[in-house]
Amino acid sequence: MTFRFSLESLLRLRRGEQRQQEQVLQRINEQVSRIVRELHAIHLESLQTRRREPGLTGAELHFNEQRLAILESRRARAEMELCQARERQSFALAEFERIWQRREALETLQQRERQICLQQEQRREQRGQDDAFLQRKWKR
What pLDDT is stored for residue 1 in this prediction?
64
The confidence band for 140, taking pLDDT boundaries of 50, 70 and 90, is: low
Whole-angstrom Cα distance, residue 21 to residue 100? 9
Any idea what DSSP says for residue 7? T
> What span, in angstroms and rounded, lies between the C-alpha atoms of 85 and 118?
48
Rounded to whole angstroms, the Cα distance separating 119 from 127 reads: 12
Q: According to the model, what pLDDT value does residue 125 have?
A: 92
Q: How many residues does the chain have?
A: 140
Confidence at 90, pLDDT banded by 50, 70, 90: very high
101-133 pLDDT, tens digit each: 999 999 999 999 999 999 999 999 999 888 888
- pTM score, two decimals? 0.74
Structural domains of the chain sorted by starting position, each given as residue range(s) with its CATH number in brackets: 8-111 (1.10.287)
Whether the pLDDT of residue 46 is over 80: the answer is: yes
CB of 11 closer than 8 Å to CB of 106:
yes
Looking at residue 48, its pLDDT comes to 87
Give CA torsion, residues 88, 89, 93, 95, to 10 deg: 10
Decide if 5 contacts 11 (C-beta within 8 A). yes
* pLDDT exceeds cutoff 90 at 38: yes
Cα(72)–Cα(46) distance, integer angstroms: 8
